[in-house]
Structure formats: C-alpha cells, structure tokens
C-alpha cells in the first residue's frame, strides 16, 4: 500500500490544513456554540472523508447520513486500504468489517463481508431493516444482495497484490507501529468517523479491511458496537483504530463514552483508555498502536494514541484540520 496516502497530500486539503504541517497542531477543544456541526475521522484519509460528510452537515443534514457518506469516500478509493482496495487475509481474500450507530442507540454492523464495495451501507441496512445488530460472512453478503448491492470481482488492487506476494515470502504477521503513515504493508487501516449535526445529534461509523494478512475469519473491533464505535446522544461519541483485539478487550469506545459521562473531556477520556490498554499490555504496548477519537455532547473533541504518528481530521464551521494526536509514548 505504498501510494494510498499520496493522493490526500496532493489534493484533498483544500483549506488551511493544506498550508500547515500536520505535526504542528496541538489538540484543540472547542465550546459547543462554536463547534456545531462537527465531524472527526481517523488518519489522513479522514480529510477527504470529512469533506463529503461536511456537505451533508452544512446543508442541515443528519449526522447519520454524514457519517455514512463520509466513509464511503474511503471505501471507494482503490488505493486506500479501507474497502476492497485493502490488504487481504492469509488466503488472499479481502474481508471487510463495518458498523454504524445513530443518536437513538440504533446500530448495525457487518463482519467478514466479501466482494461488496460499501460495507458501511450494508451495516446501515442491517440497522434499519433487520431485528439484528451484526451479520457476518456469507449471511451478510446474502443480505446485501437481497438489498440490491452488487458483487464486485474478487480481485486484489495492484498495491494489495504486491504486498500480499511480499508477505507470502515469510508468511508472518507482526503488527508494526504507525504503519499507516509509512506505507508499510502491515496495515491497520480503518476509517472511524463521528459527527454532530446542526440539531446537536450525534452518530458514528467505522469501516475497515482489518489487519493485513489476518487469519481467515478474524474479526477486529471495527464492526463491534462498543469496541470500534459507540454513540450515546446524551454524552458523546467515540471511535477507535489500531490493534482491534486490544480495543475489544477493554470495550474501548464504550469505555471512552462512559469516561466522558463521568466528566472527563474527550481527550482525557481517550487518554484514560489508552493508559488502561498500556497497563494491561505492559511491555507489549511498545509494539502496538491503538488510537481513539471522541466528541462530547457539548461539542468538545479530542484524541489520544499509544504511539506518536496518529493523525485525525477535524472539520467545524471554523476549522478544517489534520491534527497530530498526543500519545502515550513520545
């Protein structure tokens, strides 16, 4: 996945953010009056995704529509590891995970979904049209087809094919730090997006091809409500990226929202959960990346990561920034 970040650097930053080095921003926390509406999303790919979400929010649309439209941009980008352009599992097959949650605890997700371009939209259909929260594998695909989604060819992108061939030589999986920003083939590629609309309602989405060269059948945190994403419209919203297993074991996004409920700011809540993961992982924390981003009901936002190098995109009426998050390790 050598090229997927370059298109962002080249063209997507149309505002102030394009003029400023990513590394120079400190996390800002804004008052509600000046921050509504607001959208946050993970990694550099969030810049282009926020742009699409912002069009919905700016025109008075719902946060739910914004977070779906926003991450669809990344899912459709073949040079991006979110969606069908992503790295495959060990068998050479791309499997996708996604979930979505609205302002009334409605939620839906899909896991291990193959050959469907927009898993986030299937997740939304699961939320709206079934009595369930999560559909997986062939059942998820069958449901997608019944809803009018079409099967895409089972073919790796050129970048993914090259990365897979390289991986096959050793066939080992070793998570690496900050790979997203280094173009390494061992990817943690997820876009998580959380937004508040003009009515003050929150929603979130999360979509990924998951860890590159994962075991067949492996599902990460991204499609799991409470782990990769959580929204409580009275409190706030949070989404996660990074080593999914370590997000699941602490019910990460839900725990961040609970910390905000108990009075912590978004950044402090994200930091608290990162510290918990580090204390659980002990020395092993040095070799993993996890990051959370969060918005509170009063319009503040923040983020925190284990390792430096995690960036997130923020768009408000006043700002359009790619911000480098603070991290546990310097």
The residue ranges that bind ligand ASP (CB under 6 A) are 188-190, 208, 210-211, 220-222, 241-242, 244
Minimum distance, C-beta of residue 319 to ligand ASP, in the bound complex (Å): 24
- The answer to whether 141 and 114 have CB atoms below 8 angstroms apart is yes
What positions carry a catalytic annotation?
Answer: 190
Minimum distance, C-beta of residue 214 to ligand ASP, in the bound complex (Å): 7
β-sheet bridge partners, residue 122: none
| Residue recorded with tokens 């590629």 | 189
Q: How far apart are CA 195 and CA 237, in angstroms?
A: 8
Measured from the CB atom, the residue of 202 and 219 that comes closer to ligand ASP is: 219
What's the gap between Cα 173 and its chain centre? 21
Minimum distance, C-beta of residue 265 to ligand ASP, in the bound complex (Å): 23
Measured from the CB atom, the residue of 65 and 180 that comes closer to ligand ASP is: 180
Minimum distance, C-beta of residue 227 to ligand ASP, in the bound complex (Å): 9
- The answer to whether 112 and 219 have CB atoms below 8 angstroms apart is yes
Measured from the CB atom, the residue of 56 and 227 that comes closer to ligand ASP is: 227
What does the chain come to in residues? 330
Minimum distance, C-beta of residue 276 to ligand ASP, in the bound complex (Å): 17
Q: How far apart are CA 196 and CA 297, in angstroms?
A: 8
Calculate helix-pair angle for 266-281, 252-261, nearest 10 degrees.
Answer: 130
What are 3's two structure tokens?
Answer: 């090229």
Angle at Cα 65 formed by Cα 69 and Cα 273, nearest 5°? 85
Measured from the CB atom, the residue of 56 and 274 that comes closer to ligand ASP is: 274
Q: How far apart are CA 190 and CA 51, in angstroms?
A: 17
Measured from the CB atom, the residue of 222 and 327 that comes closer to ligand ASP is: 222
φ, ψ of residue 279 to 5 degrees: the values are -70, -30
Residue ranges of E strands in 155-216: 188-196, 202-211
């Amino acid at each position: 996945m050598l090229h997927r970040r370059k298109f962002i650097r080249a063209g997507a930053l149309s505002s102030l953010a394009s003029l400023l080095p990513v590394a120079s921003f400190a996390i800002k926390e804004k008052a509600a009056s000046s921050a509504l509406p607001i959208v946050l999303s993970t990694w550099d790919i969030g810049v282009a995704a926020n742009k699409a979400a912002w069009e919905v929010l700016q025109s008075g649309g719902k946060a739910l529509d914004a977070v779906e439209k926003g991450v669809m941009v990344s899912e459709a980008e073949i040079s991006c590891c979110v969606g069908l352009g992503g790295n495959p599992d060990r068998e050479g097959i791309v499997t996708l995970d996604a979930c979505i949650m609205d302002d009334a605890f409605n939620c839906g997700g899909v896991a291990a979904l193959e050959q469907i371009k927009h898993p986030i939209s299937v997740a939304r259909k699961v939320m709206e049209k079934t009595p369930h929260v999560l559909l997986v594998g062939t059942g998820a695909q069958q449901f997608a087809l019944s809803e009018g989604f079409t099967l895409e060819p089972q073919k790796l992108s050129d970048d993914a094919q090259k990365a897979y061939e390289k991986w096959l030589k050793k066939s080992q999986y070793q998570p690496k730090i900050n790979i997203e920003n280094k173009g390494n083939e061992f990817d943690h590629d997820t876009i998580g997006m959380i937004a508040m609309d003009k009515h003050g309602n929150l929603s979130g989405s999360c979509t990924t091809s998951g860890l590159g060269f994962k075991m067949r059948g492996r599902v990460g945190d991204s499609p799991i409500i409470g782990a990769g994403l959580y929204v409580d419209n009275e409190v706030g919203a949070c989404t996660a990226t990074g080593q999914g297993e370590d997000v699941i074991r602490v019910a990460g996004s839900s725990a961040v929202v609970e910390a905000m409920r108990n009075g912590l700011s978004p950044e402090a809540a994200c930091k608290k959960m990162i510290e918990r993961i580090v204390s659980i992982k002990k020395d092993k924390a040095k070799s993993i990346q996890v990051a959370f981003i969060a918005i509170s009901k009063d319009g503040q936002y923040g983020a925190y990561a284990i390792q430096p190098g995690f960036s997130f995109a923020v768009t408000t009426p006043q700002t359009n920034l790619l911000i480098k998050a603070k991290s546990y390790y310097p």
